[in-house]
Every structure is written in C-alpha cells, then in structure tokens.
Amino acid sequence: MRRVLVGWLAAAWSCIGMSAELRIDLPKQVTVEQSRVRLGQVATITGTDLEVVRQLVYLPLGTLSRGQQPHNLDRQQLSRWIRSTTNVVVDRVIWGGSPQTTIVLQSTAVRATEIETAARQSLEAWLAPRSDRHEIRLASRLSDLATDAGEVHLQGRLNPADIPSRRMRVWVDVVSQGRPVQSIPVSFDVRAYRSALTAGNAFPAGRIDKKQLVNAEVEITALAGEAVTAEGGVGESADEWRTAQSIAKGGALLQANVGVAPMVVRGDWVEVISRRGGVSIQGRGQALQDGSVGDAVRIQVHGALGSLVARVLDKGRVEVLR
C-alpha cells in the first residue's frame, strides 16, 4: 500500500510539473528602446502558470548606461538573477534559443543646435516684454545628447527671480516619452535696451525734480536693478518722488532707490493750522519728521517751548492735534 501511495504521489508531482511548465528563449541579439530593461524585453517567456509568466515578463534586469558597449547576458547569469529575486524554481525552467544574448540600447540623438534653439527661444520670449530691443549670443559649449528612443520634448525655463543681466542662464528640460531625462544649463551673453527715466542733471539724495528727468534708451542689462520707466512710474507725478541715493547725470532711476516722497519732509517748513472751537489759526512751523497724509508728525513752531504733534493734511500742510 505504501509503495502504491508513493507511486501515486510521484505521478501527481510529475503531472503538476508538466502543468507548470516554463520556457525561456533568448535571442542572439535584441534592441531595447529604454535604458531600464525588463526580462520580457529581451526574452520570450511561455508557460502554463500565467502569474509566473507575468512575474518574469516584468522582472527588472537593470539600467543600461548610454555610451557603454552592448551588454551580454547568458543563461547562467539570468538563472542566478531569477533565483535571487523571485520564488521561481529555476531548475525546472526549460531554456531555448541562444545560450547568450546581446542587449543593444537604441537611442535618439538630440542635437546641440536643438538644445540651443530651445534655450534661445525661451530667452527671447522672456526678454520681449522687458526690453525694446536686445542682442543675445551663445556663451556655452553644447554637445549632442543621446536619450531614450521615442518622442523627445525640449522646454526652456528661467529662474523666476531673474532680472535682465549681461550673462543669463536658461535651463533646458529634456523629456523623453513623458519622462524627465536631464536639465541642461545654457548660458548667453545678453545686451538689452529700453526707454527709461534718467537724470538730466546730477541728483543728490532727496527730492527729484520732474523737469530734470529725461526719457532715454538705457542698457538695462548693465543696471543693478529694475529701471523706472515713464509707463511704470513710482507715483502719480515725478515731482512727488525722492531718491535714497545720489544719481549721476545721465544715470537711470532704479525702482529700488526711488520712492514716493512724503507730503511732509523732515526739515521742511509747513503751514500749521490750529483749531479751537470755531476759531482757526494758521502759522508756519518746521517738520521734525517725514509723514504722509493722515500721519501724525512732530513740528516745531517758532516761539513754542516744545514740539507739537500734528496730522498731515496735504503737501506741506498740517493740523495740530494737541
């Protein structure tokens, strides 16, 4: 009885083995389109257990490096890899085809001129609303790029914080089949010009006289900041501006250095109004602080023992609070 049971188990095991038959055929050479390689791309896998077949088809083999020689893969290497990464019984695999396969990575060449064009177009589009005219010249040495075979898209981008300058960098993102591959920096020498407000005469720090401003073309890529233009001024009228730094004759006004002058400036003489009941008294005093409309500032009135606090009403006019 025991011999019969053993014989029956052996026959059953044989049937199970036959029903779970697995075959892997290797070609002599195979070409793949992507650097990340799976077993199903380099071998033909057949079997009766679909889960096992699916597992092997999607089994990662590694990543091929571009510029390398074709990679050779033999049955012994593949057997060890399957044994170490899956639960497949490698000893029951039926091998067919070539004992070794050569894997060749197909690639698409992205020309250096294409990379430059993508970067140049992005920089041109960025400069267009910021300048009246400009000149750009490539300052990088670019090389062709090999990437995965398939559709390749190039997109240039600049840093959002950039301002026009004489050396500018554009990043070109290389996307292959929807997957980011690499970002390439491309530098350009830039000269950009636009009309901006300049000083007709040298200005010391302080108020700016509107009559002394000249609208002229300046090289904005040589400036330390954004220029003030007639279209995008700082205040409603130029005579309300003041500069934090002196400006040489012909120098451009910069947004960072120019601001709206307060209605009352420290040291200026102002009209002082004092109301008590129905009586309004007007006089003159000297502002001890800067102030805009509605601000409370200290003023010194001639003959007074101390300073007074007044609210700014308008340019050069204040009203005593106490």
* pLDDT tens-digit readout, 175-233: 987 888 889 999 999 999 999 999 999 988 887 877 888 999 999 999 988 898 887 66
Question: Cβ contacts of residue 237 below 8 Å, gap of 6+?
Answer: 210
The predicted pLDDT at position 66 comes to 63
Q: Residue 299: is its pLDDT beyond 50? A: yes
The predicted pLDDT at position 322 comes to 65
The C-alpha atoms of residue 302 and residue 187 are separated, in whole angstroms, by: 64
The predicted pLDDT at position 232 comes to 65
Q: Residue 236: is its pLDDT beyond 60? A: no
Q: Residue 149: is its pLDDT beyond 70? A: no
Domain boundaries 2-105, CATH class: mainly beta
For the chain, report the end-to-end CA distance as a whole number of angstroms: 121
Q: 8-12, 159-163, 223-227, 235-239: lowest mean pLDDT where?
A: 8-12
31-82 pLDDT tens trace? 887 788 999 999 999 999 999 999 999 999 988 876 666 889 999 999 999 9
309-319 pLDDT tens trace? 999 998 889 99
What is the DSSP secondary-structure string of 126-145? HHGGG-SEEEEEE-S----E
Query: What is the mean pLDDT of the segment spanning 251-261?
Result: 85
Q: 14-28, 97-111, 212-226: lowest mean pLDDT where?
A: 14-28
The predicted pLDDT at position 161 comes to 86
Which CATH number is associated with domain 193-260? Answer: 3.90.1210.10
Tell me the pLDDT of the chain averaged across its residues.
85
| Of the candidates 241, 231, 297, the residue with the CA atom closest to the CA atom of residue 270 | 297
Pick the residue with more confidence: 239 or 303?
303
Give percent of the chain with pLDDT exceeding 90.
Answer: 50
**Which of the four pLDDT bands, split at 50, 70 and 90, describes residue 279?**
confident
The C-alpha atoms of residue 132 and residue 157 are separated, in whole angstroms, by: 21
The predicted pLDDT at position 266 comes to 86
**What are phi and psi for residue 214, nearest 5 degrees?**
-125, 130
The C-alpha atoms of residue 166 and residue 134 are separated, in whole angstroms, by: 11
Query: What is the mean pLDDT of the segment spanning 148-170?
Result: 90
Pair of tokens at residue 264: 């009352």
The vertex-160 CA angle with 157 and 162, nearest 5°, equals: 95
| Of the candidates 305, 303, 289, 304, the residue with the CA atom closest to the CA atom of residue 318 | 289
Cβ neighbours around 312 below 10 Å, total: 23
The C-alpha atoms of residue 235 and residue 240 are separated, in whole angstroms, by: 7
The C-alpha atoms of residue 128 and residue 26 are separated, in whole angstroms, by: 57
Tell me the pTM. Answer: 0.60
The C-alpha atoms of residue 138 and residue 159 are separated, in whole angstroms, by: 18
Q: How many CA atoms lie within 13 A of 34 on its CB side?
A: 17
* Right CATH for 269-320 from 1.10.10.10, 2.30.30.760, 3.90.1150.10, 3.30.230.70: 2.30.30.760
Query: What is the mean pLDDT of the segment spanning 161-171?
Result: 94
